[in-house]
């Protein structure tokens, strides 16, 4: 029985966006639930120390934007669809720990309120899209900025595009690893299929990340530059 028939949903309209329950076996989801909870707890602690009161509304708006943007699937090569992830954008604007916190909030609301993404795989989704996606995107952005220079808007957009692309490809590789570890799919197959499709989907991620970052980055107080020590 497929996902479609189980739920009697119009799959044409809504799709599973993150790992659903059932794709990861018990050892993997228990491990990733513990690790995801740990990562979130640490990210909250780091965020609490660095984020000021006046930034809370901005974080709320960014979280709402990521949630809204994730609802929209754009078609890829007539065969699949991608959607914005947002961890890299959050990391560029407020640092990678905020990226993890916001991704966790989005994932929790999607799973509990909209039945989108599983509960047992919440930790895995936090690790893949939050920890891996935000950290990889942030590292790539910081590296590109260092290389391209920091006072150039075009360079900032290129850096954000590459970082958005790399963040989602890294997140998809992490999902591939967990699928293989669960015995759901062979490692080579899982990795090449996940990173292959997401290297196409990543183009959309890169475009949205670059456009939103260009609009929102405050060059005088660029979190990514300020927090280069993170």
Show contacts with another protein in window 73-102 (CB under 8 A): 73-76, 78-83, 102
Q: Is the dihedral of CA 178, 8, 108, 200 positive or negative?
A: positive
Q: How far is the CB of 65 from another protein (least distance, A)?
A: 4
User: Are 93 and 223 a contacting pair, CB within 8 Å?
Assistant: yes
- C-alpha distances (whole Å) from 33 to each of 220, 222, 227 are 38, 33, 28
Residues 137-196 that bind another protein (CB under 8 A): 172, 175, 179, 184-185, 189-190, 193-194
Range 186-190, long-range pairs (CB < 8 A, 24+ positions):
none
Distance CA 155, CA 152 (A): 5
User: Are 12 and 99 a contacting pair, CB within 8 Å?
Assistant: no
For another protein, the closer of residues 68 and 228 by Cβ is 68
Near another protein by CB under 8 A: residue from 2, 147, 151, 154: 2
Q: CB under 8 A: which stretch of 62-70, 140-148, 158-166, 222-230 binds another protein?
A: 62-70
Q: How far is the CB of 147 from another protein (least distance, A)?
A: 27
Near another protein by CB under 8 A: residue from 37, 46, 55, 207: 55
For another protein, the closer of residues 71 and 228 by Cβ is 71
């Amino acid at each position: 029985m497929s996902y479609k028939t189980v739920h009697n949903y119009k799959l044409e309209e809504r799709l599973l966006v993150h790992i659903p329950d059932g794709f990861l076996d018990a050892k993997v989801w228990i491990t990733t639930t513990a690790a995801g909870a740990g990562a979130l707890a640490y990210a909250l602690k780091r965020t609490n120390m660095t984020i000021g009161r006046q930034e809370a509304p901005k974080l709320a708006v960014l979280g709402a934007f990521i949630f809204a943007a994730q609802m929209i699937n754009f078609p890829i090569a007539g065969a699949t669809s991608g959607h914005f992830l947002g961890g890299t954008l959050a990391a560029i604007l407020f640092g990678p720990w905020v990226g993890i916190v916001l991704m966790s909030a989005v994932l929790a609301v999607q799973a509990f309120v909209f039945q989108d993404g599983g509960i047992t795989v919440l930790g895995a989704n936090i690790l893949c899209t939050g920890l891996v996606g935000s950290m990889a995107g942030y590292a790539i952005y910081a590296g590109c900025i260092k290389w391209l220079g920091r006072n150039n808007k075009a360079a900032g957009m290129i850096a954000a595009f590459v970082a958005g692309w790399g963040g989602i490809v890294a997140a998809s590789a992490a999902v591939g690893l967990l699928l293989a570890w669960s015995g759901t799919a062979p490692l080579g197959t899982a990795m090449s299929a996940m990173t292959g499709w997401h290297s196409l989907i990543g183009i959309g991620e890169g475009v949205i990340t670059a456009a939103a970052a260009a609009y929102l980055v405050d060059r005088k107080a660029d979190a990514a530059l300020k927090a280069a020590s993170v």
